Structures are given as C-alpha cells and as structure tokens.
A and B are shown apart, each in its own frame.
Chain A
Amino acid sequence: MTLRVLAAMSGGVDSAVAAARAVEAGHDVTGVHMALSSNPRSYRTGARGCCTLEDSRDARRAADVIGIPFYVWDLAERFHRDVVEDFVSEYAAGRTPNPCLRCNEKIKFSALLDRALALGFDAVCTGHYARLENGVLRRGVDPAKDQSYVLAVCTPEQLAHAMFPLGDTTKADIRAEAQRRGLQVADKPDSHDICFIADGDTRRFLAERLGTAPGPIVDQDGNKVGEHDGAYAYTVGQRKGLRLGTPAPDGRPRYVLDISPVTNTVTVGPREALDVTEIVGERPVWLSEPPSGPLSCQVQLRAHGEVHDCVAEMVDDTMRIRLARPARGVAAGQAAVLYDGDRVLGSSTIASTVRAAV
C-alpha cells in the first residue's frame, strides 16, 4: 500500500537512507528537516551536530539525490520548551534526563507527527535503528546502534504512524548503501552527545542556566567531604570530577549516591552502596498487553546499558521493577525499558530506587 510518508531528515546518513528506502518501498515520500534552533549557529557545529546550517544543506542535498520534495519545518519553539527546558529542569530536580528520548516522545512523534497527520501524511519515517512490525517494536539488528531504548517511551498510538526502515541492517551496511545510492553524507561522522549543547560541556551549559549554588558533598554518615557549585551537575553513579578534599578512610574511590535538590546536598559513598534492587517507574507505557500480575522479563536502565533480568508489576499507576541481581548507577529520570528478548514490552521513567542493604 502506498502511504504518504514524511521522512524526517537530519542531514545525517541514517535518515537519508531511511528516506531512500521508503521511496523504494513505493511510498510517496516528502523530506522534512526540523529546524530546532531559531538561531542555527547556536547549536553544535561540524560533525557533532544535528541542527546546523550544514546539516540542513546536507539533508536538502540528500533529498535532491533521492528525488523527493524537501522542506524545513521550524520546530524550535517546541524543541526549546519540551526538550531543552525539560532537560534543565530535570537536572535542577536532581534527575538525569535523556533528551534524545524526550525528543522522540515530544517532538518527532508528537509535534512533527501531529502536523504531518494534519497535513495529510500517513506516517513519519526516521533513521532510527529499531524494527517495527505490526505494532511490535524490536531492537535493531546492529547491537552497537540499537535505538529501541530511546523509542520505548512512545505510545502504541504514536508508533502506529512510525516507520523505521533501518532496523534490519547494520550501520556499516547503511554507510555502504548510502555510497551506492550516491548520497554525499555516506561518510559523514555520527552525531554524538547532546545536539543543543554547542561545545559538549553539559556542566557549563547547566551552570549558565541554573547559576552556581554551592553546597556540601557529604558521605553516608553526613560528614562533609567536599563542596560543589551546584548539585545539578552530578549524576548518580558518577565517580569522576568530584574533587573531594577528604579521602575515604579506606582509600577506595567514591561515587555519587544521591542528589538532593531540596537540601542542595550531594551524597557520595562506596561502589556497593550504588546497588539497586528495585525500581519505581512513573508514566508507564505498554507496547504489549499490560500485565495483570508479575511479569518476568528483562530491563535496560540507560541507553546502551546492560540488560538485567527482572520481574515487573503494575502497582496502581506505577511500574515496580524488582531486579534479579543488583544494578549500579541507576539514575532517576532515565527510562526503564522492559524487553522480552529483543522485543520492547514497555517503559517507564525511573522515579526512585530501592538500594540493597550494605
């Protein structure tokens, strides 16, 4: 069946090949580059970005080669509000957000999709490495590139209008295919990190927006062992950059255990104290039938993180996830994505964790 497909084209190789594959599948495809900054120069430049003038030009050129109409849509306001400001306020609240995931949920498969549907399109196609068939979302076959984690926050309704043509292919093969198709972006480096932080310095980006708020770094007994310029700059499980004046009595490295925005305190402790046995997730999304009781499955707790056996259960509006073995470095604000093998079952946003008794 021929669908009217809107191909989101970032200017990178993946979305270009995805658009080309949608055309080859017989769909009526239009390319759209999302302008996410009202001043394109203010975001990353060169190889690292996804929002620069160069990226817009690369996307346009790819659309020319593929032979599809191309437009730039200005989604800067929505992106700023729903992704950038959310990112800052999440850190301010002591959590560790994943902006790519938020962008999929709020921009690509919300703002962009809604507008596309209203204008008569049937689906939005992206270059994500994930497989989607009959509403079933699976990991992409390239384990290094799999992006099912950052898509798992999308609802079944959102995914019903999504198209991911790259999930069955490895990145290396996509680059080779781009070369064969004559796409100039075939050799373009992958984008990394966070597209809206121009120099990659997240701490400074946050400091410019949240100001400095000096406070204590304490150990588990509440003894002050150092100082910080803002609790928001820390992530649970972080070891580097703590600049602790007082060494641990046993001389072992210490990790961020907790961030309390209310008391502006960062708590540090030994690695074992990071062990988490249970996770409470909010805003649950089910891509499969919501379970009526405990569900044995696997969970992934951060992008490209390891997979843990678990039992998940709905308790009122929250998702309770008991881990078979303790996991470390579990940060509130990240997504807990449930899998059955390579199939995504559902997700929730980590609200709190239960630590193992040390």
Chain B
Amino acid sequence: MTYLDHAATTPMLPEAIAAMTEQLGALGNPSSLHAVGRRARRVVEESREIIAEAFDARPSEVVFTSGGTEADNLAVKGVYWARRAADPNRTRVLAGAVEHHAVLDAVRWLAEHQGAEVEWLPVDELGRVSPDTLRAALDKADDVALVTVMWANNEVGTVQPIAELAAVAREHGVPFHTDAVQAAGQLPVSFAASGVQALTLSGHKLGGPMGVGALLLAKGIDPVPVLHGGGQERDVRSGTLDTPAIAGFAAAVQVATARREEEARRLAGLRDALIKAVRTAVPDAVLNGDPENRLPGNAHFSFPGCEGDALLMLLDAREIECSTGSACSAGVSQPSHVLLAMGADPARARGSLRFSLGHTSTEEDVAALADAIGPVVERARRAGLSA
C-alpha cells in the first residue's frame, strides 16, 4: 500500500497511541471534584500546557473541541455573534475564497440565516490572499465582524502570509481567525507571533487521534457558544472533556513540533522528488498552488484530459491512495472551489489529484507513484473528461 493522503489523516504517532491508551483505562471526569476527577483534570491541564507551549500560546488560550470543524464553527459563528451583539452594525464577514468547508459553509450559513454580509477575499492564481486585498476590503467598511483566512490550504498547499494579514486586521481593530489544521506540525506556527486572535487545530492531522482539536483563543475574545451545557471550556465550549483523546493529541503535538524542522525538510525533499517524477511521467501535468510557499507534504496536480475520479480509482486499484481533494456530496465530486477561485476552468478543476506526504512517507512511496502515474493518466485520458 502506498498512502499518499496524509492531509486527509495521518497515522497516529506511537507516542500518541501510548498516551491515549493509558488514559482509556483510567477513570475520571475532569470536571469532578474528587480524587479521580482531579487525576483526569491533571492530565487535561498538562496536555493543555503542552499544546500551548508548542504553539506559543498561553494555556488559558487553549479551548478543546471535538476537532477542526467544531473549532472553525465556534470561531466563525461565535465571534460573529459576539461582535454583532456588541455592535449591531457589525454584520460583515471577510473570508478567504479558498477556505475549507468547515469555514466556508459556516460563513455561508451566517449569510443565509444570520443576516451576515459576506465578502469573499479573492486569491491569485497561486491561491494567495494579498494583504492589500484585505486592507482595501477593511478600508471601505466599518461593519466587519471578523476576518477568517486559513494558514495553509488543504487542497493545493498554498501558505498564506498570515502574520501580514493579521497585522492589517489588527490595524482596523477586527478579530482575525485562521484555520491552521494543515499548517500545524508542518510549518512553524506561533499563536503569539502570528497576531491572530483565534486559531484552529486538529488532532488527527498531526499524528493524534480523530475527534479532538482545539481553538486557540486570545484573551478578550469571547465567542458566543455553539454548544451550550456545562461550560467546561472557559464557558465558551461545553461537553465532558475527552481525557484520552486530549492526552493523545498533546503527545502528538509534542512529538510533531519537536521533529517539525527536520521532518519538514525531509518531506519537502520527498515532495520535490514526487513532483519531478510526476512531471517526467506526465509532462503536461500542471502543479497547482504556490511552488515556493507551500506545505512541505503537499503536491497537487491537474492532469489535462482526465477525470480526477477516474485517476483516483485507477490508482486505488494499484494500491496507491490519494485524493481528488475536493468536497463530496453523496460521494459526487464537485469541481473544487479552491481551483475555481484560483482561476482554473471546471475541466481542469475536475481533473486534479492531491498527493500528500506525512511522517510515514518514504522514497518507496514516491517510486511507486512514479511507476504508476504515467499508465494511469494514459488510461484515464482514454476514458475522457466526462462519461
């Protein structure tokens, strides 16, 4: 098996499995006041400190969630509601045009049901949001509730100039959220230095378990809750804390950030070899995204004349696992909004594949793809673009 879909999920790190397994057998609700509760609470708080330290945040700024999607929803909806409650005029949301669906659809929902005015920040052909674009949008509006732009794109891997964007928002006094799910563990992510007020993390993209994530929330940013209940996390997020998952998440963060620099260099080397191999086998393949500022583990191509679904199936039959990188509805791929926003036509958008590398990737993985991709593309071309 050649697993080239680490951006979907990456294998759990042994350290995370060990930390999580240890807690699965242990009793205790971290909110209980007795001894076993205190024991569980200690695990949660130590985990919080590990995660805070890894991303240069204060422990009190870490709000645990059920994952990236919940953290994005809490940031986008919660901050919108809070800002609008403080000043009813603030109904404008500025969002990147290439956001993940967890942000994209939360923003759309605010527009459809909560009276939000949405302005999608356009991207260039490499998928970048320019700070000037954001500045222009903020200069002409005084009713902005929040700005949200992802740190690195999940499909094409383009890294955004987050610190510059956040600085522009700060000048205008508008809170800035970033979805850093793909960036964390691959890029240097400092919550403090980035200047953002809210930052989304996910456990399973960096070697932790599924079903856990966090929203880093600067002091003074108090989103209206999406989930109401016991108020466990700063009264912003309710629900019994998942001690084993949080312990596994923290262990993964610790390992992933400690090895990050070395691992990013290794992955970038493999990625460049992969890009070269694909271009050699398929000379007209188009690399999407920013060739310089991209995630070290991401390679995303359009294969002219091919249907991404057909490529995926043919590679799957050769035990090479990758992704078309786009969202599904009943399993039907829609042309990627990311590629369309970057100016691709729908045919190019549909003929795309994402190969994403991670901590278990090796040169053999690249070699396997190098052998397969030529014949697979040739076969898919015969099947044409649409049935």
Q: In residues 23-40 of chain B, which contact A (Cβ within 8 Å)?
A: none
> Which residues of A lie under 8 Å from residue B317 when comparing CB positions?
30, 69
Shortest Cβ distance from residue B379 to the other chain A in the assembled complex, whole angstroms: 6
Q: A112 within 8 Å of B by Cβ?
A: yes
User: Interface of chain B, helix or strand or loop or mixed?
Assistant: helix
User: Do A73 and B309 touch across chains, with their CB atoms under 8 A apart?
Assistant: yes
User: Do A112 and B331 touch across chains, with their CB atoms under 8 A apart?
Assistant: no
Q: In residues 268-294 of chain A, which contact B (Cβ within 8 Å)?
A: none
Q: How far is the CA of A113 from the CA of B153 in the complex (A)?
A: 37
Shortest Cβ distance from residue B73 to the other chain A in the assembled complex, whole angstroms: 22
> Contact flags (1/0) for A74-103 with B, using CB distance below 8 Å?
111110000000000000000000000000
Q: A358 within 8 Å of B by Cβ?
A: no
User: Do B313 and A40 touch across chains, with their CB atoms under 8 A apart?
Assistant: no
User: Do B387 and A38 touch across chains, with their CB atoms under 8 A apart?
Assistant: no
User: Do B383 and A115 touch across chains, with their CB atoms under 8 A apart?
Assistant: yes
User: Do A75 and B331 touch across chains, with their CB atoms under 8 A apart?
Assistant: no
Q: B310 within 8 Å of A by Cβ?
A: yes
User: Do A35 and B383 touch across chains, with their CB atoms under 8 A apart?
Assistant: no
User: Do A35 and B387 touch across chains, with their CB atoms under 8 A apart?
Assistant: no
User: Do A30 and B313 touch across chains, with their CB atoms under 8 A apart?
Assistant: yes
Q: Among B312, B331, B384, which residue has its beta carbon within 8 angstroms of that of A56?
A: B331
Are A40 and B330 CB-contacts (below 8 A) given A69-B316, A119-B314?
yes
Interface size on A, residues (CB 8 A): 25
Shortest Cβ distance from residue A259 to the other chain B in the assembled complex, whole angstroms: 34
Task: Give the number of residue pairs across the A-B interface with Cβ within 8 Å.
Answer: 56
> Contact flags (1/0) for B202-241 with A, using CB distance below 8 Å?
0000000000000000000000000000000000000000
Q: Among A40, A53, A74, A120, which residue has its beta carbon within 8 angstroms of that of B333?
A: A74
Q: B162 within 8 Å of A by Cβ?
A: no
> Contact flags (1/0) for A55-79 with B, using CB distance below 8 Å?
0100010000000010111111110
Closest partner residue, chain A, to B314 (CB atom): A119
Q: B86 within 8 Å of A by Cβ?
A: no
Are A35 and B332 CB-contacts (below 8 A) given A77-B386, A118-B384?
yes
- Of all A-B residue pairs in the complex, the 8 with the closest CB atoms, nearest first, are A72-B331, A118-B383, A115-B387, A111-B387, A35-B332, A40-B330, A56-B330, A74-B332
Report A's interface with B, CB cutoff 8 A.
Answer: 30, 33, 35, 38, 40, 52-53, 56, 60, 69, 71-78, 111-112, 114-115, 118-120
List 18 contacting pairs A-B, 8 Å CB cutoff, sorted by A: A33-B331, A35-B330, A40-B329, A56-B330, A69-B313, A72-B328, A72-B330, A72-B331, A73-B387, A74-B333, A76-B332, A78-B386, A112-B387, A114-B387, A115-B310, A115-B384, A119-B382, A120-B379
Report B's interface with A, CB cutoff 8 A.
Answer: 309-310, 312-314, 316-317, 328-333, 379-380, 382-384, 386-387
